[in-house]
Amino acid sequence: MRQITQRQTTLALTSIIFISLLLIIASTWLPESRLATERNRLFFYLFITAVLWLLTWFDWRYARYLTVALITVMTAIAIPESSFDDAISQGVLLPPIMAMVLVGIPGIVGSAAATWIIVLWRSGGEGMYTSPASLVIYLLAISGLALGRLVVDARLAQERDLLQALMDNSPDHIYFKDTASRFVRINRSQATHLGILETEAAIGKTDFDFQPESLSREFIAEEQEMMKTGRPILDRIGYNPTLDGRDRWFSATKAPIYDRNGRIIGLVGISRDVTERIRIEEELRLSEERFAKAFRASGDGISISTLVEGRMIDINNAHTRIFGYSREEIIGHTAYELNLYADPLSRDRLRTILEETGEVHHLELKARRKSGELFDGLFSAEVVNVQGELCIIDTVRDITPQKQATATLQAYARELERSNQDLANFAYIASHDLQEPLRKIQTFSQRLLEKYDGALDERGQDYLRRVDNAAARMQLLIQDVLTYARIGAKSSNFRPVSLTAAVQDVLADLEELLEATRGQVIVGELPTIDADPIQIRQLLQNLISNSLKFHQPDVPPVVQIDGTLLRNADNTPTLQLTITDNGIGFDEKYLPRIFTMFQRLHGRDEYEGTGIGLTLCRRIVERHYGSITAHSQPGAGATFIITLPLKQPDKEQQYEPT
User: Quick check: pTM over 0.75?
Assistant: no
CB 127 within 8 A of CB 83: yes
C-alpha to C-alpha distance for 612 and 17, rounded to whole angstroms: 128
- Closest listed residue to residue 307, CA positions, set 396, 394, 397, 395: 394
Name the β-bridge partners of 132.
none
Name all domains of the chain by residue range, CATH numbers in brackets: 6-165 (no CATH), 170-278 (3.30.450.20), 298-398 (3.30.450.20), 404-471 (no CATH), 492-645 (3.30.565.10)
Q: Which residues of 530-548 are buried (b: 16+ CB within 10 A; e: fewer)?
A: bbbbbbbbbbbbbbbbbbb
C-alpha to C-alpha distance for 194 and 207, rounded to whole angstroms: 9
pLDDT score recorded for residue 228:
92
Task: Count other C-beta atoms under 10 Å from residue 181's C-beta.
Answer: 20
- Closest listed residue to residue 475, CA positions, set 451, 443, 510, 519: 443
* Per-residue pLDDT at 442 exceeds 50: yes
pLDDT in tens, 130-150: 344 444 444 455 555 555 556
- Highest mean predicted confidence (pLDDT) among 23-32, 283-292, 477-486: 283-292
pLDDT in tens, 194-227: 888 888 899 999 999 988 888 889 999 999 999 9
Q: Which long-range contacts (CB under 8 A, 24 or more apart) does 220-228 make?
A: 220/181, 222/254, 223/177, 223/181, 223/254, 223/267, 224/181, 226/254, 226/256, 226/267, 227/179, 227/256, 227/264, 227/267
Strands 558-567 and 520-523: parallel
Q: Which long-range contacts (CB under 8 A, 24 or more apart) does 438-446 make?
A: 438/471, 438/474, 438/475, 438/478, 439/475, 441/467, 441/471, 442/468, 442/471, 442/472, 442/475, 445/471
C-alpha to C-alpha distance for 503 and 548, rounded to whole angstroms: 14
The predicted model gives 367-386 an average pLDDT of: 89
C-alpha to C-alpha distance for 125 and 135, rounded to whole angstroms: 11
pLDDT score recorded for residue 239:
81
Separation in Å, CA 1 to CA 4, 52, 274, 577:
9, 20, 42, 92
C-alpha to C-alpha distance for 116 and 93, rounded to whole angstroms: 9
DSSP-derived letter for residue 172 is S
* Per-residue pLDDT at 654 exceeds 50: no
C-alpha to C-alpha distance for 365 and 301, rounded to whole angstroms: 14
SS (H, E, C) 307-331: CCCCCEEEECHHHHHHHCCCHHHHC
Strands 558-567 and 627-632: unpaired
C-alpha to C-alpha distance for 221 and 214, rounded to whole angstroms: 11
* Per-residue pLDDT at 655 exceeds 50: no
pLDDT score recorded for residue 231:
92
Alpha helices (H) along 230-274: none
C-alpha to C-alpha distance for 135 and 131, rounded to whole angstroms: 8
CB 99 within 8 A of CB 68: yes
pLDDT score recorded for residue 267:
92
Half-sphere exposure in the Cβ direction for 334 (13 Å, CA): 14
State whether residue 268 is helix, strand or coil: strand
CA 576 to chain centre: 40
The predicted model gives 38-49 an average pLDDT of: 54
Higher local confidence (pLDDT), 480 or 57 = 480
C-alpha to C-alpha distance for 539 and 553, rounded to whole angstroms: 25
What's the pLDDT band for 484 if we cut at 50, 70, 90?
Answer: low
C-alpha to C-alpha distance for 157 and 623, rounded to whole angstroms: 93
* Per-residue pLDDT at 296 exceeds 50: yes
